[in-house]
Amino acid sequence: MGRTRQLSLAVGIAGAGLFALAIQNEADAQGDGPRAYQLVPDGTQSYSQFLFWLSGNNAPSEGTIIEGADLNITLGVSQYTTTVDIAGHQAGLLAVVPYGEVSGSLSTLRGRKPTGSDSGLGDVMFGVAFGTIGAPALTPEQYAVYDPGFSMAALALVTAPTGSYSSDRVLNMGGNRWAFDLGLPMMYYAGKSFLDPHLTSFELLPKVTFFTDNTDAPGSTGVLEQAPIYSLEGHVTRNFGTGFWASLDALYEYGGETKSDGVSDDNLQQSLMLGASTSFGLTPAANLKFTYGRVIWDNGTGSDETMVRAQFTALF
């Protein structure tokens, strides 16, 4: 295989590349996914199409857990990402459009379980990530011989209240509020280059999510407030040849207690999800990725989600 084709394949199987998130806002308990922040040659663009199948007590909007609910969510997510050179550092810009449907039953209320459903557009997301350490803007030739080592980026995401929403419904695709994520994705690579067929990576992503108030909350509540949610995501990923890699994944979340009209709902969230991912190269510039994750512990008011995710990514 020639150097040009080998480089293209390596970029293709990397996933969507640096700062190409495996979307977190509409599938809250599954995280951004492995190798979401791997470096790519400067100027790389990508289109990713995601499909999610989720069950548990997580509503589609970020940070929203409904205690005792039994929900099923089918979600599609379209994402565009481009990389740019800022003062010699690689930065990523992204736009995300989610859509789908949610249905299910809520907790028992006076001997019955209210049911509900909604479908349509979710809350769109825009973001930027700036490579602060070990993330230079590289030409394809420089990328082929670059020894990755340690890298870190500064991440900022904004989720807008564009999703389908009505306070008269018990379930909604949208959250009727803004959300802001700040994170520091870090990766360490054990390997001489991104082309190493046995490359191993260790990833850690601390993140905090802030929410504005929902001033038209469902039910009898007028204003719903939510405290920040803190999360720590980790992955260990290894290449097995030039067309396949696999990872072990973990995500811990803490916080997110809500107040209804100023009164605490006593619903602090804590949960731990474990999972695994695989990625298969289809062409030199396209791949498929699959992830399964399940919450193995929560504090009774945290997430109890089970998630299956499929992702197709094309680079250009």
Render pLDDT for 116-154 as a digit per residue (tens, 0 to 9). 999 999 999 999 999 999 999 999 889 989 999 999 999
Residue of higher predicted confidence among 2 and 246: 246
Phi/psi for 34 (5° steps) reads -70, 145
Q: Which domain holds residue 76?
A: 3-103+115-309
Q: How many beta carbons lie within 10 A of that of residue 7, not counting itself?
A: 19
| Residue at 109 is within a domain | no
Q: Is the pLDDT of residue 30 over 50?
A: yes
Q: Which of 245, 217, 210, 212 has its CA nearest to residue 231?
A: 210
Indicate the number of domains in the chain: 1
Which CATH number goes with the domain that contains 244? 2.40.160.40
| Residue at 142 is within a domain | yes
Q: Is the pLDDT of residue 24 over 90?
A: no
Helix (H, G, I), strand (E, B) or coil at 9: helix
Asked if residues 91 and 131 have their Cβ atoms less than 8 Å apart, the reply is yes
Please say whether the dihedral angle defined by the alpha carbons of residues 267, 73, 282 and 23, taken in this order, is positive or negative.
negative
| Residue at 274 is within a domain | yes
| Residue at 206 is within a domain | yes
Q: Which of 231, 240, 249, 244 has its CA nearest to residue 303?
A: 231
Q: Which residues pair with 71 in a beta bridge?
A: 56, 104
CA distance 121 to 296: 30
Asked if residues 277 and 288 have their Cβ atoms less than 8 Å apart, the reply is no
Q: Is the pLDDT of residue 6 over 60?
A: no
What is the predicted pLDDT for the residue at 27? Answer: 47
Q: pTM score, two decimals? A: 0.92
| Residue at 90 is within a domain | yes
Residue with structure tokens 């857990």?
Answer: 65
Q: How many beta carbons lie within 10 A of that of residue 228, not counting itself?
A: 15
| Residue at 25 is within a domain | yes
Asked if residues 128 and 111 have their Cβ atoms less than 8 Å apart, the reply is no
Cα dihedral: 176, 98, 64, 153 (round 10): -110
For residue 169, what are its two tokens?
Answer: 């419904």
Q: Distances in Å between the alpha carbon of 150 and those of 38, 45, 134, 191, 307?
A: 11, 23, 6, 11, 30
Chain-centroid distance, C-alpha 20? 9
The conformation of residue 29, written as its DSSP 8-state character, comes to G
CA distance 52 to 37: 20
Asked if residues 150 and 118 have their Cβ atoms less than 8 Å apart, the reply is no
Residue of higher predicted confidence among 284 and 117: 117
| Residue at 316 is within a domain | no
CA distance 39 to 83: 10
Average pLDDT taken over every residue of the chain: 90
CA distance 24 to 86: 25
Asked if residues 45 and 82 have their Cβ atoms less than 8 Å apart, the reply is yes
| Residue at 110 is within a domain | no
Each residue of 90-105: pLDDT tens digit? 999 999 999 999 999 9
Asked if residues 280 and 9 have their Cβ atoms less than 8 Å apart, the reply is no
Average pLDDT estimate for 101-113: 79
Rg, the chain, Cα only: 20
